[in-house]
Amino acid sequence: MMLYQKSDSSEEIMNMNMEYEQRKTFRKDRCSRQTGMNVILGVCVIVFMMTFVIFLHQQRKFSMLESWMNSHSSNLTSVKPDLQKAEVQEKSKVETLMTNLASSLSSIMSKQEESLQKLERQDASHTEMKNLMVGLSSAVSALTSKLNEAVGNQDQKQTETKKLLDSLSSSVTSLLSDQQNKQHNFESLSSSLRDVKSSVSDLTSSFSSLSSQLSVTMQNVSQTDVKSLMNSLSSAVSALTAQLNDAVKKQDQKQSETERSLESLKSSLQTDQQNKQHNFESLSSSLRDLKSSVSDLTSSVASLSSQLSVMLQQDVKSLMNSLNFTVSALTSTLNDAVKKQDQKQTETERSLDTLKSSVQSDQQNKQRDLESLKSSISDLKSSVSDLTSSVASLSSKQQTSEERVMNALKEMITNMCTKTTDVSVAKCKPGWILYKSSCFLFSSDELNWTEARDYCKAQDALLLKIQEDDKEWAFLNNHTIPTSYWVGLTDQTTGQWRWVDDTPYIMNKERWNPGQPDDWKAHGLGEEGEDCAQITYSGKLNDNHCSVKMKFICRVQF
Ligand SMILES: *[C@@H]1O[C@H](CO)[C@@H](O)[C@H](O)[C@H]1NC(C)=O
Ligand SMILES: *[C@@H]1O[C@H](CO)[C@@H](O)[C@H](O)[C@H]1NC(C)=O
Ligand SMILES: *[C@@H]1O[C@H](CO)[C@@H](O)[C@H](O)[C@H]1NC(C)=O
Ligand SMILES: *[C@@H]1O[C@H](CO)[C@@H](O)[C@H](O)[C@H]1NC(C)=O
Ligand SMILES: *[C@@H]1O[C@H](CO)[C@@H](O)[C@H](O)[C@H]1NC(C)=O
């Protein structure tokens, strides 16, 4: 229309054009504002979806972790409560992290909703929206990085916990198998002790049958034969005794080894150690009982052999009875030891449960100890069963003929004698000399009498106590002449001559130098006379001043 009115005034047309231009600009402005709004809305929706997806992912992870934790919770209950606590802490940490995240997410969501409302109202200016968007995007990126970090932390923690649990379960299974081994060892040990016990009771019964048969047959055996046989029997029994002593020594050694390894465990196992030490002490005391009953056996056999030289048949019978009694005492002591061992086994099993986490290396040492203990006990067992079987064969043979009895006795004695020589090699400490059933130390150091006595005592020996045995006296002279040695004889305390173990000395003037002891006082060494005894260079006894330093003789008797 405006074009058709060209002929009208150009001013009017110009005005109309201007109006048209103004309207066009106004429309263009509105268009661009709506597009900006749509972009902002799109961005918001994308951000919201991203956040939602991340939140879903996090929740899934958390539920996976929870189910994994549940699957391990049964195993966890069996391990130390410390670890359980640690895990609970870990769990609660993760949970608080998750709740923080959830709350920050919800705050972000509420912020978004606010901004959406703002946009819908279209009140906010362009710049305000721009600022809002920038803030929103920075908040979202901070949130994203926080979420990533949290996810990373969580994964790390999860793998750490997994590793910890794996190592725990493997150590628990190895401990279980170790414990089973130990139990097995203890069972075999106690069964072998039971074997020893039964073979000792066999021995007892064979001895009693032997003694009853001897009382019948002794009439036909010449006295000298019996005497020599009894002597041999006594040496055979002393060989058995020595073997038992060895076993006891091994046991003692083992005890001290175990005590040492227990020492290394001290820090973590103090209460357990006290129990163990107590057990071992009772074991060693029962072994000491065993030792003493064995030495009783020896002494009763020795007295048997010495009294046989003036023997009557009734005496043999009664001596056999006392032998029988000693053997049964030995049996009961072994029974006690077995019982104590059984008790100890159950106690050890209980304490093993508390030991679980720290005992693995120590247990290997213990197992070695137990095995050597077991082998020494089986040695003992076999030697006792040898003795039993030889006594049994002896008694069966006796029933048919007296000659066979004598042969069997001789056979048994040679058996025992070879055993004795085998055992003897290890009996004396290096530097000590074996004679009969004693070890002698002829010292090279020179000490005064008191120091010499104390030295021997520290070696579990006695300063020499001399027996009324001419062969032993010859043996001593063979080693002393031409040197002087202190012996364990003094009248220092009582005025009467006594041995160091406080037994009385019966004067035998033949063994003293002529005119000795004389308690000579002109030696210039002190006010008192001569109160301590020596073997002089000539192989005779003499009293001397106790402060003189000279060589000395220690003795250990089995
Ligand atoms: C839990 O311990 C049992 C045996 O005690 C084992 O078979 C199982 O695999 C363990 N579970 C895990 C998750 O380690
Ligand atoms: C040996 O001792 C047991 C019990 O101590 C006794 O029953 C048995 O009769 C004794 N045997 C002999 C031969 O004395
Ligand atoms: C053993 O002695 C008894 C009587 O003392 C006698 O009757 C018996 O014949 C003797 N036996 C032998 C094998 O000498
Ligand atoms: C003492 O020595 C002599 C000769 O060296 C020897 O024949 C004798 O058997 C020895 N006696 C003892 C008891 O050792
Ligand atoms: C032996 O020697 C020790 C240490 O030198 C001393 O204390 C002690 O009195 C001495 N004994 C005698 C009896 O002289």
DSSP state of 5: G
pLDDT band at 449 (very low <50, low <70, confident <90, very high): very high
CB 519, CB 530: distance < 8 Å: yes
Task: Pick 96 or 197 by higher pLDDT.
Answer: 96
Query: How far does residue 74's CA lie from ligand 1's centre (Å)?
Result: 8
Q: Which helix (H) or strand (E) segment is 543 a member of?
A: strand 541-544
Model-wide pTM > 0.85: no
Give the chain's largest Cα–Cα span: 182
Q: Is the pLDDT of residue 215 over 80?
A: no
How high is the pLDDT of residue 325?
74
Task: Pick 180 or 282 by higher pLDDT.
Answer: 180
DSSP state of 219: G
Task: Pick 145 or 1 by higher pLDDT.
Answer: 145
How high is the pLDDT of residue 289?
66
Q: Is the pLDDT of residue 2 over 50?
A: no
How high is the pLDDT of residue 476?
93
Query: How far does residue 209's CA lie from ligand 2's centre (Å)?
Result: 9
Q: Is the pLDDT of residue 339 over 50?
A: yes
First to last CA, the chain: 148
Q: What are the tens digits of pLDDT across the range 17-34?
A: 666 566 655 566 777 778
Residues 6+ apart with CB under 8 A from 557: 437, 438
Residues 293-297, mean pLDDT to the nearest whole number: 60
Check if 51 has its Cβ closer than 6 Å to any atom of ligand 2: no
Q: 557 has which bridge partners?
A: 438
How high is the pLDDT of residue 542?
93
Q: SS3 string of 258-308?
A: HHHHHHHHHHHHHHHHHHHHHHHHHHHHHHHHHHHHHHHHHHHHHHHHHHH
Residues 42-71, mean pLDDT to the nearest whole number: 84
pLDDT band at 497 (very low <50, low <70, confident <90, very high): very high
Q: Could you please report the per-residue DSSP string of 348-365?
A: HHHHHHHHTTT-HHHHHH
Check if 220 has its Cβ closer than 6 Å to any atom of ligand 3: yes
Q: What are the tens digits of pLDDT across the range 362-394?
A: 556 666 766 666 666 666 666 666 666 666 565
Residues 6+ apart with CB under 8 A from 441: 431, 432, 433, 456, 459, 461, 553, 554, 555
Domain boundary assignment for the chain: 234-347, 433-557
Q: SS3 string of 89-101?
A: HHHHHHHHHHHHH
Nearest 5°: phi and psi at 492?
-60, -45
Query: How far does residue 458's CA lie from ligand 4's centre (Å)?
Result: 30
d(CA 535, CA 489): 10
CA 368 to each of CA 28, 194, 305, 363: distance values in angstroms, whole numbers, following the listed order: 97, 21, 42, 9
Q: Is the pLDDT of residue 551 over 60?
A: yes
Check if 205 has its Cβ closer than 6 Å to any atom of ligand 2: no
Q: Is the pLDDT of residue 59 over 80?
A: yes
Q: What are the tens digits of pLDDT across the range 132-144?
A: 667 766 766 666 6
Check if 492 has its Cβ closer than 6 Å to any atom of ligand 5: no
Ligand 5, closest atom to CA 546? 13
pLDDT band at 432 (very low <50, low <70, confident <90, very high): very high
Q: Is the pLDDT of residue 198 over 60?
A: yes
Ligand 4, closest atom to CA 477? 1
Helix orientation angle between 360-400 and 223-308, rounded to the nearest 10 degrees:
130
pLDDT band at 425 (very low <50, low <70, confident <90, very high): very low
The chain-wide mean pLDDT, for the chain, equals 71
Instruction: Let me know how long the chain is.
Output: 558
CATH fold label, 433-557: Mannose-Binding Protein A; Chain A (3.10.100)
